[in-house]
């Protein structure tokens, strides 16, 4: 009886988490005053990064060949889940001097 009860929480946890990697985290980058903050961050494979535009003008989040958001209006967000390691340099296609990098390990 004891061992059956102890098995229940583990089974429930597996069901709740489903196919989501155990370590996946939601990481946020804000866009404010023509700046990505933080401009550089390190995440794990499986993590999702969400960019949110807090400026009054549109911005985009573009990493050549990797991901490309639509123009984000004020308070719009864009999310990308990183499934492979590497350095993902990105920029705003409307203001190319706005740059950032996500390092996935």
Site residues for Cu ion per CB under 5 A:
59, 92, 94-95, 98
Question: Which residues lie below 8 Å from residue 57, measured CB to CB, with a gap of 6+?
Answer: none
Q: d(Cα 58, Cα 86) in Å, to the nearest integer?
A: 28
Q: d(Cα 27, Cα 47) in Å, to the nearest integer?
A: 7
Phi first, then psi: give them for residue 16, nearest 5 degrees: -65, -40
Question: Which residues lie below 8 Å from residue 65, measured CB to CB, with a gap of 6+?
Answer: none
CB-nearer residue toward Cu ion: 43 or 60: 60
For the CB of residue 93, give the shortest distance to Cu ion in the complex, in Å.
8
CB-nearer residue toward Cu ion: 82 or 90: 90
For the CB of residue 2, give the shortest distance to Cu ion in the complex, in Å.
60
For the CB of residue 92, give the shortest distance to Cu ion in the complex, in Å.
3
For the CB of residue 65, give the shortest distance to Cu ion in the complex, in Å.
20
CB-nearer residue toward Cu ion: 25 or 73: 73
Query: Is residue 53 classed as helix, strand or coil in its secondary structure?
Result: strand
CB-nearer residue toward Cu ion: 46 or 58: 58
């Amino acid at each position: 009886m004891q061992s059956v009860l102890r098995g229940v929480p583990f089974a429930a946890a597996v069901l709740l988490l489903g196919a989501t990697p155990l370590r996946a985290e939601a990481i946020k980058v804000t866009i404010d005053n023509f700046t990505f903050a933080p401009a550089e961050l390190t995440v794990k494979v499986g993590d999702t990064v969400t960019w949110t535009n807090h400026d009054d003008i549109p911005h985009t989040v573009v990493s050549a060949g990797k991901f490309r958001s639509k123009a984000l209006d004020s308070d719009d967000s864009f999310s990308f889940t990183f499934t492979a390691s590497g350095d993902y340099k990105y920029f705003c296609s409307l203001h190319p001097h706005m740059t950032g990098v996500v390092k996935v390990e």
